Amino acid sequence: MRTAALARVAAVALPAVQAAPAVTVLPAVRRRLLPGLHGLGAPDRVALTFDDGPDPESTPHFLDVLAAHRARATFFVLGAMLRDHPDLGRRLVAAGHEVALHGWAHDNLLLRGPAGTIHDLRRAYELVADVTGTPPKFLRPPYGVLTAATLLAARRLGLRPVLWSCWGRDWTATATADTVRHRVLAGLRGGGTVLLHDSSHAAAPGAWRAGLGALPGILAECRRRGWHIGPLATHGLPAS
């Protein structure tokens, strides 16, 4: 009887523990309690980040714009995409950008068991290190959803989870360059971290063009406001 009772308690408690960190998907929670996770760094800097690549259809266009504006960024790559396009991953590094980890596939990790989560993050980590020659330092899970297993894997691999302080909703079918630029700049403050997408792998087909069209205006306005644009590695995040 006692064993059965403990099993029932565990059946309720373990899923709750696994899901508890997902509360940080709420921007107000992490902004107030976890500024590093929110991506808040030095007030004279802005971290520029991209998710879901590398994608040969779209990522090279983002690289061209960043090169034209002499800006560097952090690219949170998917292991499955990097496996299929390793040369593009190496091109990111050669261009001076930082490669970070977005997971293996674009799965909500709340729906992935702890063992599967740890396995997928480890193989993605090892692939990034092998392809780029540098182990990744940062992790952003798909949809920004953290779980207990994700945090455990991050700790084991020496990864720091970082989400974002503003985004452009550039993955939607109705996004345009104007809506993305307006949304990003309306929410951006010095020290913020911008989330855009260099691929439509998990978005409406072709949605990446809205983010690409918004990028020059975002870069120009950041510089007009006196903010230095760069990757997370130079963003001055507070100690975790």
| Per-residue pLDDT tens over the stretch 145-198 | 999 999 999 999 999 999 999 999 999 999 999 999 999 999 999 999 999 999
Q: Is 197 a catalytic residue?
A: yes
Residue 3 has pLDDT above 70, yes or no: no
Q: Report the distance separating Cα 18 and Cα 81, nearest Å.
A: 27
**196-207 as b/e: b if 16+ CB within 10 A:** bbbbbbbbeeeb
- Name the catalytic one among 97, 102, 197, 201: 197
Q: Is 119 a catalytic residue?
A: no
For position 5, what pLDDT does the model report?
36
Average pLDDT score over the chain: 91
Q: CA nearest 173: which of 195, 199, 200, 212?
A: 200
Going by pLDDT thresholds of 50, 70 and 90, the confidence category of residue 240 is low
User: In order of start, what are the domains of the chain with their CATH numbers?
Assistant: 40-234 (3.20.20.370)
Retrieve residue 79's tokens. 């292991």
What is the signed CA dihedral for 74, 210, 164, 22, rounded to 10 degrees? -120
